[in-house]
Amino acid sequence: MRPNSVLCFHSSSYITLRSRTVCAALTAVIGLLSVSPSANAQPSPTTVQPIPAWQEVAGGKMEFEVASIRPAAPGASWHSNMDFSVEDAAIPPGGRLSTTTKLGGMVNFAYKLLLAGPRADEVYGRLPKWVSTEFFTIEAKAPRSDVTKDQFRLMVQSLLADRFKLVVHFESREMPVLALVQIKPGHFGPRLRLHSEGPPCDATIPPVDRKSPTIPDVWMPVCGSTQLIDWTNDTVILGSRNTTMEMFANYTYLIESLGLPVVDQTGLTGKFDIEANFAPPWKTSKAQGPDAISDFAGPTFLQALKDDLGLKLVRTRAVIQTIVIDHVEQPSPN
């Protein structure tokens, strides 16, 4: 990572660095983790067709008034005039969507999904190569200007079915996981708090003073995002405001490769502000050799979970609900 850079996770399913700026709201990656206790779970997949609460509230099937999809120009990268995260952030005025993304980014947005690491690989591993490599540019206009973000999602669902011939279903599967739990039930770490106890989302947050040896109490400028900024002694500060434990559990795989899906079993409901300081694995160069980690002054991410947040990861089994793509076709340009 370059000095003074920001690590931001984008809906195009990879990590992007932006120097000396704060990234836009965190976009999610493809999939959905919905966890329930694994007791009495069947070992074979069970096909279900849930209707998420957000989709019922949004009003069911909707379509764009007009929409175009075409292959992006060579060398294109992800961009969008709309926040693709699972948060209910404000949408651009005028009821228009303008984005360049991969199919995964569109599926993620359309189904309000969240998945990382091996679970994302499982969704896309058997699909044609173009699904993971090719970008498409979408220009679309809603039938009216006062639609909500979730109604935009429903319109993108219809667009994917029409132009990509996308067919999906959901399956519940029991598998090994790492569960995020509280070390002491009811006890928060010093850098985990209820969002209601911190500044509201419309508050102005002062810029971070990177020369100060003291980590600021609040540095995240926006809500609904998870970001990392460089700090002293080869460490970073992770920050997230107004987030759920479920979202944070899933994002941990983007911070450190743990080999198993991470699921929320903290029992904590509502929205939280989170901050943690640690030395990330990517700051240890391979050229430095296996002993380089001993030179780092900061704790590991797993240690920061315990010291800063009062949380830990334990190995267990859980039933995970995941999206399955049954059919998809490459669209013709229009």
| Ordered per-residue pLDDT tens for the chain, 334 residues | 433 333 343 333 333 333 333 333 333 333 334 333 333 434 344 445 667 888 888 998 999 999 999 999 998 999 999 888 777 767 888 899 999 999 988 998 999 887 656 667 788 778 899 998 999 999 999 999 889 999 999 999 999 999 999 999 988 889 899 999 999 999 999 999 999 999 999 899 888 887 777 888 888 888 877 888 888 888 899 999 998 998 898 788 778 778 788 899 999 999 999 999 998 887 755 435 555 544 456 789 999 999 999 999 999 999 988 889 999 999 977 7
The number of distinct structural domains making up the chain is 2
Does the residue 52 lie in any domain?
yes
Q: Same domain for 157 and 189? A: no
Confirm whether 121 is domain-assigned.
yes
Q: Is residue 3 situated within a structural domain?
A: no
Residue 132 maps to a domain: yes
Is 109 among the domain residues? yes
SS3 of the chain: the string is: CCCCEEEEECCCCCEEEEECCCCCCCCCCCCCCCEEECCCCCCCCEEECCCCHHHHHHCCCCCCCEEEEEECCCCCCCEECCCCCCCCCCCCCCCEEEEEEEHHHHHHHHHCCCCCCHHHHHHHCCCCCHHHHCEEEEEEECCCCCCCHHHHHHHHHHHHHHHCCCEEEEEEEEEEEEEEEECCCCCCCCCEEEHHHCCCCCCCCCCCCCCCCCCCCCCCCCCCCEEEEECCCCCEEEEEEEECHHHHHHHHHHHCCCCCCEEECCCCCCCEEEEEEECCHHHCCHHHCCCHHHHCCCCCHHHHHHHHHCEEEEEEEEEEEEEEEEECCCCCCC
Q: Are residues 186 and 122 in the same domain?
A: no
Domain membership flag for residue 19: no
User: Is 81 in the same domain as 211?
Assistant: no
Q: Are residues 187 and 142 in the same domain?
A: no
Same domain, yes or no, for 47 and 155? yes
pLDDT at position 288 is: 52
Q: Does one domain contain both 277 and 190?
A: yes
Residues 64 and 91 in one domain: yes
Q: Are 180 and 149 in a shared domain?
A: no
Half-sphere exposure of 213 (CA within 13 A, CB side): 0
Domain that holds residue 136: 35-174+321-327
Q: DSSP code of 195?
A: G
Residue 70 phi/psi, 5-degree rounding, is -145, 155
- Note whether 203 and 87 are same-domain residues: no
